[in-house]
A and B are shown apart, each in its own frame.
Chain A
Amino acid sequence: MSHPALPQPESAAAVPSRRQLLASTGYGLGSVALWHLLQHDAHAAPAVVHHPPRVRNVIFLFMMGGQSHLDLFDPKPQLRALHGTPVPDSLTRARKSATGGILETIQASPRRFRPHGNCGMQLSDFLPHTSTITDRICLIRSMHCEQSNHDPAQLLLHCGTPLFGNPSMGSWINYGLGSESSSMPGYMVLLSDDGHGLEGAGASLWGSGFMPSSYRGVSFRNTGDPVLHLQSPAGISPATQRARIDAIRDLNQLQQQQTGDREITARISAYELAFRMQAAAPDLLDFSRESAATHSLYGIDDETTRSFSSNCLLARRMVERGVRFVHLIHSSWDHHSDLTGRLRRNCEMTDRGMAALVHDLDQRGLLDETLVVMAGEFGRTPMCEVRRGQQSDGRDHHPQAFSVWLAGGGIRRGHVHGSTDDFGFNVAEQPVHVHDLQATILHQLGVDHERLTWRFAGRDYRLTDVAGHVVHDILS
């Protein structure tokens, strides 16, 4: 990209949402100053890409709380023979647990694993639907990080650092690429849970940290008001709403003539997008024109699957409308006790929807331009949970090894990457750190993770902090 005349913000107050300088000035990085103008209503911004992108959108399925890789994705039949025996010291010495430390004994998974699809990927019997998409996904069994508490680990996965106050992946991507939607913000968040509420760092996971709030994820609820204050107040008809916006526009234009402040144009546009959002949301939420086959594929009408599956279907519909980053969060997988019961319940809620999403995107040709990522913040221990000296039937947090899967444009299909040791305790081969996953996601979008930077507090920040390598082995 050539170095054009530098942008000319009219003032310090001239707002970032309007103009962004995107420069790669970090240590040892390229000197090409990349910047682009974000349109007033934050859509149709020219993309800043460093290489040809493979996908346009990302659907991030975040399984909050930390799924048990050992009961879902990473079979360890060897543990059956060791069930109930103490864990080798060599494994546990360096480890910190969330709740205890000693008296740990091996807990073999009661789940049954079978190979599925042409690729023969082994998955748990708790994932009957995901088992039907094994030939479309790439499973990474060698994920790891170093954070064993929920908040820091979730922040690491989303923001690239275990600390609060940094922008999330969706913010980074919208900052880098802009939004393509004319009726929706570029970063939407969809929440569901198993009745225990969200367990984790809350809105920080879709916060824009030190970036302006225009890059923040907008949480979209599938019940009630989908976006805060999307409904006109009682008594304000569509006609009055339109008339209000028109009058506000006209007076704002007079103010702009008076003051010459170009920022007012941005405000006028923001009101227009707000009105379009109000108009578009009911249509977005209206599943009535989806076919019966689609309803049944996702399980929209099933009480158990409705909540998460509706979010999956919404994700597809948002991607169709150009939303850049759709962020599903399902909580909670934090099964310190009643592992089998709660794991079954959450799998029943989510398995069908996410498999349907991949099928559906694929059959519509959207999977090629979309990247679907399913991940939790860490895995679970191969040992029984220990609480107050008592063993329970749960598993503790385990950042040393866990599994994620990806599907979509440029991702190998039917592939398993990496492996763990015989206990599922440590990564054995091809380790993939959370930063590597983030680097890979950006890479698929055409963005070099080392060159997407933001200057804050005297430093150029990146999503991947000072680490991260693209995992080329999982790319097709």
Chain B
Amino acid sequence: MLPLQLLPSSAEQPPCGMRTHRPCPGTYGPDAGLLRPAPGVLRPDAGRSRRPLLSLMIAFCTFAAFMQSSLGADPPTWNRDVLPILAEHCFPCHGSDPNARQAELRLDLDTAARQPAASGNQAILPGQPHQSELIRRITTADPDSRMPPPETQRSLAESQVEVLRAWIADGAEYQTHWSLIPPRRPSLPADPTLSPIDYLVTNRLQNAGFSPAPSADPATLIRRVTLDLTGLPPNPEQLASVGNNPDPTAYANYVDQLLNSPHFGEHWARWWLDLAHYGDSDGYLQDFLRPVAWRYREWVVDSLNNNKPFDQFVIEQLAGDLLPAAATDQIMGTGFLRNTLSNREGGADLEEFRVKQVLDRTSTVATTFLALTIGCAQCHDHKYDAITQREFYQLYAFFNSADEANIDAPLPAEIAAWQQALPAYNKRRDELIAPLASRLQELQQQWEQKILYTEAHPGQDFAWDRTLELLGLQWGQNLGEGQLEGLAIIKTAPTHRTISQQQRLQDYFLRSARNEFEPALQKLDVGKLINALDALAQELPPVTRAPAMMVSPAERTTHIFVRGEYLRPGDVVAANTPALLPPLHSDGPPTRLDLARWLVSPDHPLTARVAVNRVWQQLFGQGLVTTSDNFGVRGDLPSHPELLDWLASELMQHNWNLKSLIRTIVLSRTYQQSSNARPELQESDPANRLLGRQQRLRLSAEAIRDSALAVSGLLNPTIGGPSVKPPQPDSVSREAYANKWVASTGPDRYRRGIYTFLQRTTPFAQFVTFDLPDNSHSCTRRERSNTPLQALTLLNDPVFLEAAVALAERVIKDAPADDSARIGVLFQLTLARNPAPQEQARLLQFLNQQQQIFTADPTSAALLAPTDSSPDTAAWTALASIMLNLDEFLNRP
């Protein structure tokens, strides 16, 4: 009898590394193995050559087999049972990393594992566990030959040994890792009324002996889907439009209404910005501002609202600048790559920190689109996944040939005036410079030569070393421009420079040339010219710029960095994709655009799966693969492999239509199930991997604030624009070196959370309290913690009190002057339902008590009821604040 619990302790990964490990009998039962390839199949090795895709090797079980198979009869398989054990216990020393490999033994390849060692012993002898050295080593009592070695204080559980034994006895077949096999549409019954989601989930549940949960009641469902799609609670009009409509199409229509709301893009953009690790500042010590970072945020919001096909969404973010005749909007997508940190502290080696940025871009792309922890291969071959260090730097090479470059991206209101004024401005500027033009050009050329020489010959002349460094530290400081853009312009042949590039470099040269150029410029009296240019610039209508990327003007050779250290360049590598994935197609040397198109090519096994898994995670709290950041061998297995594949193929077949995918999911019965705990499932499926219910989910930091503002009527629903700074205690920004938090005034204080300025060193404290992720690297899944500081914030933070005051006034104004009726309105506004009698009674009791307290204490009453100082209003304010603190208010039901 095989054990049920077959996963290593590392298998599941809740948010940001959190592990909530538990066995889930049935979850990985026989029915989970539908992606299993046919016997005798090898998994691709980590070699250099491209191998044909392994899709041929896959034999899907039929549904009948799925329904009939029973756990006990099923021998262990490589992907499901064996790999997790070997990955955890053996691959650290006997995996794909040759530098860590001991005794020249690797167990991740079947040929290698069957190779007789010098001793004549064979690690794995198919069919003969007792002759297999592997089994002997993990079971022997002899400390000298015991594996893993006793000093590691690690050993296999008896059940794990049994799995290995049974697997070897059964022939020791290796398989391709599940996530590397392109998704295949499962065969489904031809019943058009049955959602494939419900079919697959219900089958799975029934196989385990359970039925789905009943549907959530309509009020709960409306609140759930409204929060999920827009991040805001339903308002009374929305409730009225759908709440009492018995027509089954009413819900579907309501969903469409939500998907078409501009608030949809605001809410879902936050999900994407976590992956991009968006911020409004540089990071590091000085943490300079990036006042145009929001252009990328807006691009994401707009793209989602316009339902830009996801493949296009991907391509524009990685390579919008390389598209033929790229439009400004497409180039702005590359703002995705501009969310890396910039170090502008004195002494920061420009190349060191440029390399760090490229490393971050590489890892961010791998995490976001592939869910592979490729960053592990920065210093050495990956210990678990077949990704070599060389392959990491091949991927790195795509981004090593790209440089930061902001672009003129006029806002709709700016375009006309700017375009009209630009020719005259350029002409006038040339006229102003004309008298000095030839001399200035001569000097600037010399200066540029000197800069380039200094970069190539560091350490020769301190003053010039410093000049070069300052060019990198100061360029575009507090403007959110790329810090090396000035240097990049210098490296661009003058004839290839755009007018804007020419002007910006000239401006820098005139103002910041140092050393021997300072007196030369003074002699020309450039001060006067600078003043004239400044005055002229004032006349040019403003144009808002946007962060983007461009192809590096000077070719850069990519080396492997030995042990990941940028000062230790090793072999030269060219841009390419990892061999374990389908080959890359390109005419000529591969570019970022080729990489982007490769990611969304129909035979790519990962991109669509990774994306749909994350959408699922947003709507159910966890992905079908719980390790949404890791689809590698140490990641989790999908709970519903066919469903994952069906969703991925749906996405691709419907032109990568994200809204349609979301719509399909939220219209499923699976999504609409009640989230109430089911005692009968608690024991066997505590993690809800079988999807026998929905899940209550604590709202995100932004959604909690947005909800309080929305229900109180304070929310300013303006869409888009630059970031705002809602008030917070001064002491928060005092915790960092720089950047005082100057609070916004007026309606900007009540904008949605997505517009809150994200200062990297001191992020908005209220959001941090509610698990805003650290934005220095990609976050695939937010934490949902539960702390006393959250309680203090909700009870005492002025903005929540303000919301309570406004909510109380709203209820008093809108509801009849009857306590019970008012409580009813309060419940509808905050929880989208009517109060239960017990709740009603408890709150009435509270209200009476508070009315007495405030009648006796008019000073406090005046503070809580600023409008009319009445004890009654004050008591209602206290009551309203209770609603904003309720667990139900903070959760999506």
A and B interact: yes
> Interface of A with B (CB < 8 Å)?
6-21, 23-25, 27-33, 35, 40-42, 96-103, 148-151, 163-165, 185, 191, 197-204, 207, 209-214, 216, 218-219, 221, 224-225, 227-237, 239-241, 243-245, 247-248, 250-252, 254-256, 258-264, 266-267, 270-271, 273-274, 277-278, 386, 388-389, 397, 451, 454-461
Name 8 A/B residue pairs within 8 A (Cβ), A-sorted. A15-B698, A17-B787, A210-B774, A228-B729, A235-B862, A388-B463, A388-B466, A451-B153
A247 touches B843 (CB 8 A): yes
Beyond contacts A13-B695, A28-B149, A397-B347: 14 other A-B pairs, Cβ-Cβ < 8 A, are A10-B677, A13-B622, A15-B784, A28-B92, A198-B736, A203-B768, A230-B796, A241-B795, A244-B882, A248-B885, A248-B886, A251-B888, A260-B679, A271-B885
Known: A98-B347, A248-B882, A255-B887. A243 touches B874 (CB 8 A): no
Known: A259-B676, A459-B373. A16 touches B735 (CB 8 A): no
| Closest B residue by C-beta to A32 | B153
B21 touches A21 (CB 8 A): yes
A255 touches B19 (CB 8 A): no
* Interface size band for B: 35 or more
B774 touches A271 (CB 8 A): no
B796 touches A232 (CB 8 A): yes
A198 touches B735 (CB 8 A): yes
Q: Give the distance to chain B from A252, nearest Cβ to Cβ, in Å.
A: 5
Known: A25-B8, A270-B787. A202 touches B735 (CB 8 A): yes
CB-defined contacts of A231 to chain B, threshold 8 Å = 796
B17 touches A235 (CB 8 A): no
State in angstroms the CA–CA spacing of A28 and B149 once bound together: 8
Q: Give the distance to chain A from B102, nearest Cβ to Cβ, in Å.
A: 10
State in angstroms the CA–CA spacing of A185 and B878 once bound together: 27
| Closest B residue by C-beta to A27 | B92
Q: Give the distance to chain B from A253, nearest Cβ to Cβ, in Å.
A: 10
Q: Give the distance to chain A from B841, nearest Cβ to Cβ, in Å.
A: 10
Q: Choose among A163, A164, A235, A458 the residue with the greatest number of B CB atoms under 10 Å from its CB.
A: A458
CB-defined contacts of A237 to chain B, threshold 8 Å = 853, 857, 860
Known: A31-B153, A211-B16. A185 touches B769 (CB 8 A): no
Q: Give the distance to chain B from A69, nearest Cβ to Cβ, in Å.
A: 19
Known: A209-B774, A457-B375. A16 touches B842 (CB 8 A): no
B842 touches A259 (CB 8 A): no
State in angstroms the CA–CA spacing of A211 and B383 once bound together: 23
Known: A12-B695, A228-B793, A459-B376. A254 touches B836 (CB 8 A): yes
B790 close to A (CB within 8 Å): yes
B863 close to A (CB within 8 Å): yes
State in angstroms the CA–CA spacing of A233 and B885 once bound together: 15
A101 touches B375 (CB 8 A): no
Question: Contacting B686 at CB < 8 Å: which of A9, A28, A221?
Answer: A9
Question: Contacting A243 at CB < 8 Å: which of B153, B792, B849?
Answer: B849
Q: Give the distance to chain A from B828, nearest Cβ to Cβ, in Å.
A: 16
State in angstroms the CA–CA spacing of A9 and B19 once bound together: 10
Q: Give the distance to chain A from B676, nearest Cβ to Cβ, in Å.
A: 5
| Closest B residue by C-beta to A64 | B737
B465 close to A (CB within 8 Å): yes
A229 touches B786 (CB 8 A): no
State in angstroms the CA–CA spacing of A48 and B791 once bound together: 28
Question: Restricting to B623-649, which residues have a CB under 8 Å from any CB of A?
Answer: 626-627, 629-630, 632, 634-635
B23 close to A (CB within 8 Å): yes
Top 5 A-B residue pairs of the complex, sorted by shortest distance between their CB atoms: A30-B153, A260-B677, A456-B17, A235-B863, A98-B347
State which of B73-81, B338-346, B390-398, B594-602 sits at the interface with chain A: B338-346
B152 touches A30 (CB 8 A): yes
CB-defined contacts of B786 to chain A, threshold 8 Å = 15, 17-18, 40, 214, 263, 266-267, 270
State in angstroms the CA–CA spacing of A109 and B272 once bound together: 54
B284 close to A (CB within 8 Å): yes
B787 touches A214 (CB 8 A): yes
Question: Contacting A98 at CB < 8 Å: which of B346, B734, B784, B863?
Answer: B346
Q: Give the distance to chain A from B163, nearest Cβ to Cβ, in Å.
A: 15
A458 touches B795 (CB 8 A): no
Question: Contacting A211 at CB < 8 Å: which of B17, B787, B791?
Answer: B17
Question: Contacting A28 at CB < 8 Å: which of B152, B768, B886?
Answer: B152
CB-defined contacts of B839 to chain A, threshold 8 Å = 251, 254
CB-defined contacts of B93 to chain A, threshold 8 Å = 28
State in angstroms the CA–CA spacing of A231 and B341 once bound together: 36
| Closest A residue by C-beta to B884 | A248
A164 touches B776 (CB 8 A): yes
CB-defined contacts of B347 to chain A, threshold 8 Å = 96-99, 148-149, 397
| Closest A residue by C-beta to B23 | A6
Question: Contacting A103 at CB < 8 Å: which of B462, B784, B798, B888?
Answer: B462
A273 touches B788 (CB 8 A): yes
B787 touches A12 (CB 8 A): no
CB-defined contacts of A274 to chain B, threshold 8 Å = 788-789, 791-792, 795
A225 touches B285 (CB 8 A): no
B630 touches A202 (CB 8 A): no
B687 touches A207 (CB 8 A): no
Question: Restricting to B668-700, which residues have a CB under 8 Å from any CB of A?
Answer: 675-679, 682, 686-688, 695-698
B88 close to A (CB within 8 Å): yes
B795 touches A244 (CB 8 A): yes
Q: Choose among A9, A41, A103 the residue with the greatest number of B CB atoms under 10 Å from its CB.
A: A9
| Closest A residue by C-beta to B152 | A28
B761 close to A (CB within 8 Å): yes
CB-defined contacts of B634 to chain A, threshold 8 Å = 458
CB-defined contacts of A12 to chain B, threshold 8 Å = 14-15, 20, 621-622, 626, 687-688, 695
Known: A10-B688, A198-B735. A455 touches B10 (CB 8 A): yes
Q: Give the distance to chain B from A200, nearest Cβ to Cβ, in Å.
A: 6
State in angstroms the CA–CA spacing of A254 and B835 once bound together: 11
CB-defined contacts of B92 to chain A, threshold 8 Å = 27-28
B777 close to A (CB within 8 Å): yes
A225 touches B88 (CB 8 A): no
Q: Give the distance to chain B from A145, nearest Cβ to Cβ, in Å.
A: 15
B230 close to A (CB within 8 Å): no
| Closest A residue by C-beta to B352 | A96
B737 touches A229 (CB 8 A): no
A252 touches B462 (CB 8 A): no
State in angstroms the CA–CA spacing of A397 and B152 once bound together: 39
B9 touches A33 (CB 8 A): yes
Known: A16-B783, A21-B20. A389 touches B791 (CB 8 A): no
B501 close to A (CB within 8 Å): no
B838 close to A (CB within 8 Å): yes
B417 close to A (CB within 8 Å): no
A6 touches B348 (CB 8 A): no
A200 touches B285 (CB 8 A): yes
Question: Contacting A244 at CB < 8 Å: which of B860, B885, B888?
Answer: B885
State in angstroms the CA–CA spacing of A241 and B16 once bound together: 34
B762 close to A (CB within 8 Å): yes
CB-defined contacts of B769 to chain A, threshold 8 Å = 213, 228
State in angstroms the CA–CA spacing of A33 and B157 once bound together: 11
B103 close to A (CB within 8 Å): no
A235 touches B734 (CB 8 A): no
B17 touches A461 (CB 8 A): yes
| Closest B residue by C-beta to A232 | B796
A11 touches B462 (CB 8 A): no
B795 touches A389 (CB 8 A): no
Known: A27-B92, A213-B785, A236-B864. A149 touches B343 (CB 8 A): yes
Q: Give the distance to chain A from B169, nearest Cβ to Cβ, in Å.
A: 24
Known: A15-B784, A97-B347, A201-B285. A227 touches B789 (CB 8 A): yes
CB-defined contacts of B886 to chain A, threshold 8 Å = 248, 251-252, 255
CB-defined contacts of B842 to chain A, threshold 8 Å = 247, 250-251, 254
CB-defined contacts of A389 to chain B, threshold 8 Å = 462-463, 466
CB-defined contacts of B850 to chain A, threshold 8 Å = 240, 243
B129 close to A (CB within 8 Å): no
Known: A31-B155, A260-B679, A261-B677. A151 touches B89 (CB 8 A): no
State in angstroms the CA–CA spacing of A273 and B786 once bound together: 11
